[in-house]
C-alpha cells in the first residue's frame, strides 16, 4: 500500500478550498481546518460548535492512536485568522452543542441533532475532490501532512515543533511522514527566497 501524500502545491490547496466553498461549505471548513491546524481527522470530527465560536484557540485531548502507547494529553491549537471568517460564516446558524461536522442526513430524517460524520465520509470527500484535481495517494492524513509539509518547506526550523506535534522520536520519522523525498527537498531549496512577497 502506497503512503498517503501531502498536497505539495500551495496553488492546488487554494484551488481545493475555492472548489469546496462553491460546492459544500461543511467540507470546505473541514478541509481548511485540516490544512491550517494539523489536527487529526478524528479530532476534527469530534469538535462541537462551542469549541470554535468566539475562540482564538482550540483545546482538546488528542485521541491516542493504536501505534502509540503514550497517554492522551491536552493540546491547544490556534485557529488561523485566514480561516476564522469562513468558520464564523459556517456556524452562524448553528447551536453551540452541535457537532461542527454533523451528519445532515440524520438531522433531516429525525430532527435530532446529528452525530459527526464518519471518518469514511471524510475519506470519500477527500478522494472525490482529489479526482477533480487529478491528485493521487490522498487520504484522511493528507490534510495533516499538508499542514506539516508546508510548515517545514516555509521554515525547516519548524522540524522540532513538528516532531512534538506528531509525537515522533526522530527527525527522520517526521521527514518520511511528510513525504519529504529527495525531490521534495530539492524543490524546497529551489523555492528559497528572501523576498517577503514570496513568503506567505
Q: Which CATH number covers residue 46?
A: 1.10.443.10
CB 113 within 8 A of CB 48: no
Catalytic residue among 80, 84, 113, 168: 168
Domain annotation covers residue 114: yes
Domain annotation covers residue 110: yes
CB 103 within 8 A of CB 52: no
Domain annotation covers residue 185: no
Catalytic residue among 8, 99, 144, 150: 144
Domain annotation covers residue 133: yes
Looking at residue 194, what is its pLDDT?
Answer: 76
- 64 catalytic per annotation: yes
- 118 catalytic per annotation: no
With bands split at pLDDT 50, 70 and 90, how would you rate the model's confidence at 68?
very low
Domain annotation covers residue 131: yes
Catalytic residue among 141, 145, 149, 150: 141
Domain annotation covers residue 30: yes
Domain span including residue 82: 10-138
Domain annotation covers residue 198: no
| Rg value, the chain, Cα | 17
Q: Is the pTM of this model over 0.75?
A: yes
Number of domains into which the chain is organized: 1
Lowest mean pLDDT among 32-36, 51-55, 177-181, 196-200: 196-200
Nearby residues of 36 by Cβ (< 8 Å), 6 or more positions away: 80, 82, 83, 147
- 168 catalytic per annotation: yes
Residue spans of beta strands (DSSP E) within 62-188: 74-78
Domain annotation covers residue 26: yes
- 176 catalytic per annotation: no
Amino acid at each position: 500500500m502506497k503512503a498517503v501524500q501531502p498536497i505539495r502545491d500551495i496553488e492546488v490547496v487554494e484551488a481545493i478550498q475555492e472548489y469546496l466553498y462553491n460546492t459544500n461549505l461543511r467540507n470546505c471548513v473541514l478541509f481548511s481546518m485540516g490544512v491550517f491546524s494539523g489536527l487529526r481527522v478524528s479530532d476534527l470530527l469530534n469538535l462541537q460548535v462551542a469549541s470554535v465560536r468566539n475562540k482564538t484557540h482550540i483545546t482538546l485531548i488528542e485521541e491516542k492512536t493504536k501505534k502509540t502507547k503514550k497517554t492522551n494529553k491536552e493540546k491547544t491549537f490556534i485557529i488561523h485568522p485566514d480561516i476564522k471568517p469562513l468558520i464564523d460564516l459556517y456556524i452562524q446558524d448553528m447551536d453551540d452543542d452541535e457537532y461542527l461536522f454533523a451528519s445532515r442526513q440524520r438531522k433531516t430524517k429525525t430532527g435530532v441533532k446529528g452525530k459527526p460524520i464518519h471518518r469514511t465520509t471524510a475519506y470519500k470527500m477527500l478522494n472525490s475532490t482529489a479526482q477533480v484535481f487529478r491528485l493521487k495517494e490522498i487520504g484522511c492524513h493528507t490534510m495533516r501532512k499538508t499542514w506539516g509539509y508546508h510548515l517545514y518547506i516555509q521554515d525547516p526550523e519548524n522540524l522540532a515543533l513538528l516532531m512534538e506535534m506528531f509525537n515522533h522520536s526522530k527527525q527522520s520519522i517526521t521527514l518520511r511522514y511528510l513525504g519529504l523525498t529527495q525531490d521534495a527537498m530539492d524543490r524546497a531549496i529551489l523555492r528559497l527566497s528572501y523576498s517577503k512577497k514570496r513568503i506567505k
